[in-house]
Amino acid sequence: MRLRVGLIGTGYWAKAVHAASVQHHPDADLVGVWGRDASKAADLAAEFGTQSYADVEALLGDVDALTFAVPPEVQCDLAIRAAEAGRHLLLEKPIATDVASAERLEDAAARAQVASIVFFTRRFVPETSAWLQRVEDLAGWDCGRAEFASSALVDGGVFSASPWRYDKGALWDVGPHALSLLLPALGDVTSVVAGGGRGDQVHLIMRHVDGASSTASLSMTVPPAASGNTLYVYGQSGRLPAPTSGLERARIIEAHGAALDALINQIEKPGTGHACDVRFGLRVVQILAAAERSLSSGGMLEVLTGE
């Protein structure tokens, strides 16, 4: 089976990662591109030898699945329409920036019984999978620490003019990266308290199930010389750092290809699910939304499943 894939989006990430990944995938074909800017969609489609679509419904009619590279608020509504049309979903994180929207998307995917993967980039890198397996094998972890410090909003690079990132900051852009590793390592988050720093910096203190805890410091406005990521867990088995070095574009494309593999596997084996499916995407949004409310109120908040 060759999966017919449509691309939603025309920006840097759509071109550099999503289109390149699908184009080179042995079991997928890039059928077409839709974007809010028709001229950009036409240019991207021409570069990758495919078709641009002015009407998203027409694209839905020609594909089996969609890969999304648009802002969360745009992605959510289009992904719901795609699910309702029976199309499988390869989503970007976060799947939305409010709980109600994320719940609507998760419900639409569940009702339509479509396959879903959320592209938490590092979860599809082999070194991360090996680290998580070692975390599971050793067990006995009491605490975790994540720091994701980027200059993406101040370095004049490809993301520095991203309106939604300016609006929502590091909590919503790099926060999902931290949670995508801390949750499988330490278990679900039950409560969170958040405090702010300079720029968009935010610090989280989280309580996990079974008494584990973690902290995360997130920023996209640090000076370029101060950029860097680190994440580790510690406990009875010692201290175990995760592989968090920067990923070159080629590695990110490979990771997206692995995410596409996971989507195809779900399609071929209905009901199997995946650790990074839309349900996990919803849980990440619930935790981030609680952190955002804590940042405003200054208090610790429980993270409820259905809030």
The full set of domain ranges for the chain reads 3-120+250-276, 126-244
Q: Which tokens in the block code for residue 142?
A: 């009491």
- Confidence check: pLDDT of 306 > 70: no
Question: What is the band of 132 on the pLDDT scale with cuts at 50, 70, 90?
Answer: very high
Three-state DSSP at 85 gives: coil
CA atoms within 13 A on the CB side of 281: 34
Residues 6+ apart with CB under 8 A from 51: 31, 32, 33, 45
- Across all residues in the chain, what is the average pLDDT? 95
pLDDT digits (tens, 9 = 90+) for 27-81: 999 999 999 999 999 999 999 999 999 999 999 999 999 999 999 999 999 999 9
Kindly indicate the confidence band of residue 161, based on its pLDDT and cuts at 50, 70 and 90: confident
What letters, b where the CB count within 10 A reaches 16 and e where it falls short, cover 166-179?
eebbbbbbbbbbbb
Q: What is the CATH number of domain 126-244?
A: 3.30.360.10
pLDDT score recorded for residue 158:
87
At the topology level, CATH places domain 3-120+250-276 in: Rossmann fold (3.40.50)
How far are the Cα atoms of 157, 182, 278, 282, 283 from residue 106, in angstroms, in the given order? 33, 22, 6, 7, 10
Mean pLDDT value across residues 159-179: 94
Peptide bond into 94 cis (omega under 30): yes
297 Cβ contact partners less than 8 Å away, ≥ 6 residues apart: none
Q: What is the pLDDT of residue 307?
A: 47
In this predicted model, what pLDDT tens digit does every residue of 289-298 receive, in sequence order? 999 999 988 7
In three-state secondary structure terms, 180 is helix
Cα–Cα distance between 301 and 22 in angstroms, integer? Answer: 40
Q: Is the pLDDT of residue 6 over 90?
A: yes
